[in-house]
Every structure is written in C-alpha cells, then in structure tokens.
Amino acid sequence: MSERLLSELTTLRVGGPAEVVDLSTEADIIAAALEVWGSGDDWMVLGGGSNVVVSDDGFEGTVLRTVSRGIEVLPPAVRTSSIPLVAHRETARVDREVSPAESTVRIRVQAGHPWDDLVAETVERGWSGLEALSGIPGSTGASPVQNIGAYGQELAATLHAVDFLDYLTGEVVRLPASQLGLGYRTSTIKQGRQGIVTAVEFTLGAHEGTALSHPLGYAQLAQALGAKLGDRVPIGVLRDAVLELRRSKGMVLSADDPDSVSAGSFFTNPVVSERFARTMPADAPRWPTGERQPDVVAPLGVELPAPAPGERDYRVKLSAAWLIEHAGISRGFRLTGSRAAISSKHSLAIVNTGGASATEILELARYVRALVQVEFGVLLQPEPVLVGSTI
C-alpha cells in the first residue's frame, strides 16, 4: 500500500491523494477487502479509473485497485440459484442451461482485465456479442456495475453472471445477471449493493465460419458500415467501424488526442414520460424505451377503457448531447479562466485541457446542467461516479 495521487490513476486526470493497494489476483482482492472492511476504514474500488471524478482533496480511506487479468473458457453446466462459493476458484457453475447446440461459448474474465483488451480478444477468437462495445475504457469488473452500452448494444445482452464479494456477509456469491437489476447505465451494485466484483462471466456466440455481429441496432453505425438496421456484419469489420466512430468523438483513450482526457460521457441521456417528451421541440431526438401503446378513439361521453398494464409507464429517452448544444453550449466551450472544457468533438464529454482540477470540472458540469434545466426543464444526471463531491 502506498499514497498516490488519484489524478495519476484516472482518465480525467483529477483527484487528490489516497492510500492505494494494487490487487493482482482474486485472492488478493478478497484478502485486502476483508482486512479493510474489518478495520472499519472507508474504502473504494478503482479499476481503470475511466468513469470516476475524485475531488481535489482525494480520498480518506483505502483505494482497492483491481489489476487482475485473465480470460478462462468454461464448460457448459447447470445452475439455478445464487449460493456462496466455498472456493472462489470454482468456475464451472452457471445460472441457466447452456447447450453446446446453441453455438455459444461461456467465458470467465478477471475483474481487473482491461475492457477493450477483452473485446479485442473475443473478436480475434470469433466470439460475437461484445464487438459494438469496442473502445470503451475501464476494467471488466466495472462493466456490469454500469451496464455499459454503446451503438445499440448493452452488456446485459451477453452478461451471464458475476462473482461478487459481498460486504454484508464477507462471502463470495455468484449472482446471475437476472439478479443485478440491470437498466440504462445502472445496476443494483451501482444503486447501493456494497461489495466488489471479482470476476465476470459472459455467454457469447461461437461461429465455425465468419463470425457475424448481433443485428445492427444503431443508425449511425449502420450508416458508417453502409448497411441497414438489423443487418449483421463480420465482427472485425464492426469493431473497426466502432473504434473509428469513437475516435472521431474523442472517446478512445490516446496520448495523441487531448479530447480523450475525459471520463467519457459526463451526463446520461434523460428518460422522461411520453407526455413530457411531447413538449420538446419537434427536432429533438427521442427514442422509445418500450412498446408504445396505440391511441384510443372513443365517441364523446363514452368512458375510456382502463390503461393496459405498464401503459402509464411508457418512457422516452432524450439526447443529452442535443439538449446541451441547444441550450447554447458549443463544443470547446469553457468558463473564463478554466482548464476544463467541453470536448471539441463531442458535447457530452468534459475534458481536462491540462492541469484542470476536479473543482473546475464540476463547475463546468454544474453550469451545463443549469442551462439545460432552464432551457428545457430537464435535470441532467452525471454518468461518472463522483467521489467526495456532488453537482
């Protein structure tokens, strides 16, 4: 354990000092976590440092930094419930029946394994399911916490289970994806279930010939590929297209790209009621989050039928980037004298232009959020985890 500046360990390059311990194996993660939990000291988990904003004061506690690596191919088996793992190396358990006839492969990945290294490996081996998530920074263990997603694909589509060191019990349990409450950029872990993901399992497509992607579900990606929504393309071709799109937005970490010094998208796309969405300007992008209920036509004086189950819950996703731009925040914008700026390539990213403090990053975030709220009545929510501060 040693004191380090968290600005050295985060992609946004902000954050004060903290006691950091690097954990290179599952056994290390478990032993260190149990020791810290037993002491009663504050603690936090850090992977790739890509989705976090740490205050300039740092963190008064222990930072458990997962740097474990490894990908293991698992045999198909049957498992129907989540129970404690007597030994955390038990890896043959699954949460539903997986038949070899389904042409799938099940893999178990260490929590500290860099996410894009995993995606590159699966594409190289011809395993489909993660290719649209190429270029996302961070560690594999953080991916289910956030339920990462991009270009029409979410982790939930391929996530099978996680091994989770539970803070309340001190035991490693195996949680199937169905128990993680996965939603848009959220999970039960992000919402407050305390503990540490030690490993992640995926069920991916396995192909004898050319490995094809999942059906394309994002118009911009389909256009870049010269394809149509619903088409399937070779996963290597799709990965290259996704990486190119992300680079054009400054969303691939690169020492040659100052716009990549960020925490990725700083705000999530807001999800609002259909009624509220109808008050937005006609050109505001929006996407339904479920099946829309048909309009009901009835004569005057006739009582309308009761709404179908879930009809009242119909929600619509808006574009945070569009809201920011149309609230008057242009790409490259910065507050006077600040070293934090809106990315010159993507209005959803706040970048550190060099030597910015966490205070400057958050001041800009608050300014952006205030303008959007005044202009459209929408309160944007931060996507990164904020440590030691709020907006």
Specify burial of residue 304 (Cβ count, 10 A radius: 0-12, 13-18, 19+). exposed
Which listed residue (121, 171, 311, 383) is catalytic? 383
Both structure tokens of 294: 């048909």
Catalytic annotation present for 265: yes
Nearest residue to 163 via CA among 137, 141, 190 = 141
Q: What is the DSSP string of 52-75?
A: EEE-TT--SSEEEEE----EEEE-
CB-based burial, 87-109: b 16+ in 10 Å, e otherwise: ebeebebbbeebeeeeebbbbbb
The CA distance from 259 to 190, in Å, is 27
Which listed residue (106, 185, 246, 369) is catalytic? 185
Catalytic annotation present for 185: yes
Catalytic annotation present for 383: yes
Residues in CB range of 50: below 8 A, 6 or more apart: 10, 11, 136, 137, 138, 142, 253, 263, 264
CB-based burial, 329-348: b 16+ in 10 Å, e otherwise: bebebbeeebbbbbbbbbbb
Which listed residue (128, 187, 265, 347) is catalytic? 265
CB 80 within 8 A of CB 47: no
User: Phi and psi dihedrals of 263, rounded to 5?
Assistant: -105, 25
Residues assigned a catalytic role: 185, 265, 383
